Homo-oligomer: A and B are copies of this chain.
Amino acid sequence: MSTQPQTLAQAPELPPADLLKMHYLMLLARRLDERMWLLNRQGKIAFVISCQGHEGAQVGTAWALRPGIDWVLPYYRDLALVLALKMTPREIMLGAFARAEDPSSGGRQMPSHYGSPRLKIVSGSSPVATKIPHAAGVALACKLRHEDAVTAVYFGEGSTSQGDFHEGLNFAAVQRLPVVFVCENNEWAISTPLSKEMAIERVAQRGSAYGIPGETVNGSDVVKVYQAMKQAVARARQGEGPTLLEVLTVRLTSHSSDDNQFSYRPKEELQTEQEHHEPLAAFARYLRQAGVLDTPKEQELEARVAAEVDDATAYAERAAPPAPESLLDHVYADAEPQQ
């Protein structure tokens, strides 16, 4: 990732209210995420995988989508994305605590495996990249019904090594399907650096293998991310087919709560990345410069977010776990739930 100081894009089309909402969502995601690490270290939740450093990519792209209308296939880092799509902090925490009420899986899946038919968020699994052909299929159905819904699918750059990435993009390209392929490139796949994942500098270069546009945008420039996504979505909606949109991000945490990144990642690398690409601070700076955010507003926001995080945590902690017998439910549609 280049370490040049970024110049934030101007966004005349985004009114201040939107900019503030975007900031709020990024902040909410960050604080929820931080809380989950705390709960993990307290032994209260068994696993965390983070969005920290990816919030700009996620909220920026989400802003070009219509929650509940466009289809979204997120991956495990997409906490800020699903919040922007109107999942609630309580819903998130219910997943983290693996409660029966968890809307994504009823406590069956690891945290961050989001799903919601209501929000058109497609249930995802743990094996990476399988969802990429799904996105093409979801879009195929929309196209067949002449709906104008767009499908957006998210994944890390490491996952573009999988055959399913290739097969999914190729199918979507041949059929000119309304899909946006969003790659959150943090330059690491667990401990594997970009240079061992691929012999190219930019994932966007892979677009040309399918005859589709490939674009790279800096994930800490939220407005630019939004603009790039808006264009890709417009292309999809106008029948011009898919786009591969690469958003450069930084993974601020270890891969997950089971990892310790300093066993393989130089501390300085992270520091440099952080200075230049930390999206939350960068966006706050931008909003201050634009006169949209000031200290009192920020304090107010922090307080509101803290209350929401507290509420969600308390709610989920008290909620009931799935009943043991429920493990037999939903293997097939016709099997009656046991309770």
Q: Which residues of B contact A199 (CB under 8 A)?
A: 170, 173-174, 176, 210-212, 241
- Whether the pair B174, A167 counts as a contact (CB closer than 8 A) is no
Q: A211 contacts which of B161, B163, B198 (Cβ < 8 Å)?
A: B198
**Option from B163, B165, B205, B241 in Cβ contact (under 8 Å) with A164:** B163
State how many angstroms separate the Cβ of A246 from the closest Cβ of chain B.
13
- Knowing A209-B208, A209-B209, the reply to whether A173 touches B198 (Cβ < 8 A) is yes
Residue in contact with A208 in the complex, picked from B161, B174, B205, CB distance below 8 Å:
B205
User: With a CB–CB cut-off of 8 A, which chain B residues contact A164?
Assistant: 163
Output the least CB separation between A74 and chain B (Å): 22
Distance between Cα atoms of A163 and B133 in the complex (Å): 12
Asked if A290 lies at the interface with its beta carbon under 8 angstroms from chain B, I say no
Instruction: Give the residue name and chain of the B residue nearest to A195 (CB).
Output: B174
Residues of B within 8 A of A205 (CB): 208-209, 211
* Partner pick for A200 among B162, B210, B241, CB 8 A cutoff: B210
| Residue A206 is within 8 A (CB to CB) of chain B in the complex | yes
Residue pair A174, B162 in contact (C-beta under 8 Å): no
Residue with the highest number of chain B CB atoms closer than 10 Å, among A166, A174, A212, A241: A166
Q: What separation, in Å, do the CA atoms of A209 and B210 have in the docked complex?
A: 9
Query: Once the chains are docked, how many angstroms separate the CA of A175 from the CA of B43?
Result: 41
State how many angstroms separate the Cβ of A312 from the closest Cβ of chain B: 39
Contacts of A197 in B (CB 8 A): 174
In the docked arrangement, what's the CA distance between A166 and B167, Å? 9
Residue of B nearest to A242 (CB): B199
Evaluate contact between B174 and A196: CB separation under 8 angstroms.
yes
| Chain A to chain B contacts (Cβ below 8 Å), 26 pairs | A161-B166, A161-B167, A162-B163, A162-B166, A163-B164, A163-B167, A165-B166, A166-B166, A170-B198, A173-B198, A174-B195, A174-B196, A174-B198, A174-B199, A176-B199, A198-B211, A199-B210, A199-B211, A199-B212, A200-B210, A205-B208, A205-B209, A205-B211, A206-B209, A208-B208, A208-B209
Known: A173-B199, A205-B211, A206-B209. 13 other contacts (CB 8 A): A161-B166, A161-B170, A162-B167, A163-B164, A163-B166, A163-B167, A166-B167, A170-B198, A198-B210, A199-B211, A200-B211, A205-B209, A209-B209
